[in-house]
Amino acid sequence: MANAIKAVITGIGCVTPIGTGVEQLWEGLVRGQSAVREIERFVPEGLRSRIAAQIPDFQAELYMDKKRAHRMDRYSQLAVASGALALRDAGLNPADLDADRAGVFMGSALGGIAYAEEQCSRYHHGGFRAVSPTLGFSVFGGAASCNLAMEFGMTGLNETNAMSCASGAVAIGRALQAIRRGEADVIMAGGSEAPLAPLSFGAFDMLRAMSTRNESPDVASRPFDRNRDGFVMGEGSAVLVIEAEHHARARGAKIYGELAGFGLTNDAHHMSAPLPCGTQAARALRQALTSADMSPEDISYVNAHGSSTLLNDVTESRVIRQVFGNHPVAVSGTKGLYGHPLGASGAIEAAITLLALRNGWLPPTTNLDEPDPEAQLDLVVKNPRTVKSAAAVSNSYGFGGVNAVLAFRQY
Planar angle of CA 352, 354, 357, nearest 5 degrees = 110
User: Which residue from 12, 36, 349, 11 is spatially nearest to 167, judged by alpha carbons?
Assistant: 349
Task: Enumerate the H helices of 217-275 as residue ranges.
Answer: 245-250
Whether 165 is catalytic: yes
Beta strand 257-266 pairing with 402-409:
antiparallel
For residue 52, which phi and psi values (nearest 5 degrees)?
A: -165, 165
CA 276 centroid distance within chain? 23
Q: Under a CB-based contact definition with an 8 Å cutoff, are residues 41 and 197 in contact?
A: yes
Planar angle of CA 383, 384, 385, nearest 5 degrees = 110
Residue among 14, 120, 165, 277 flagged as catalytic = 165
Residues 139, 401, 55, 353, CA torsion sign: negative
Task: Enumerate the H helices of 207-260 as residue ranges.
Answer: 245-250
Diameter of the chain measured on Cα atoms? 64
What's the full length of the chain, in residues? Answer: 411
Instruction: Report d(CA 227, CA 150) in Å as an integer.
Output: 46
What residue type is 411 in one-letter code?
Answer: Y
Angle between helices 310-324 and 279-291 (to 10 degrees): 50
Instruction: Report d(CA 14, CA 79) in Å as an integer.
Output: 8
Q: Under a CB-based contact definition with an 8 Å cutoff, are residues 383 and 265 in contact?
A: no
Q: Under a CB-based contact definition with an 8 Å cutoff, are residues 187 and 87 in contact?
A: no
Q: Under a CB-based contact definition with an 8 Å cutoff, are residues 165 and 342 in contact?
A: yes
Three-state secondary-structure class, residue 47: coil
Query: Which residues are bridge partners to 339 per DSSP?
Result: none
Instruction: Report d(CA 169, CA 346) in Å as an integer.
Output: 5
Three-state secondary-structure class, residue 371: strand
**Catalytic residue set:** 165
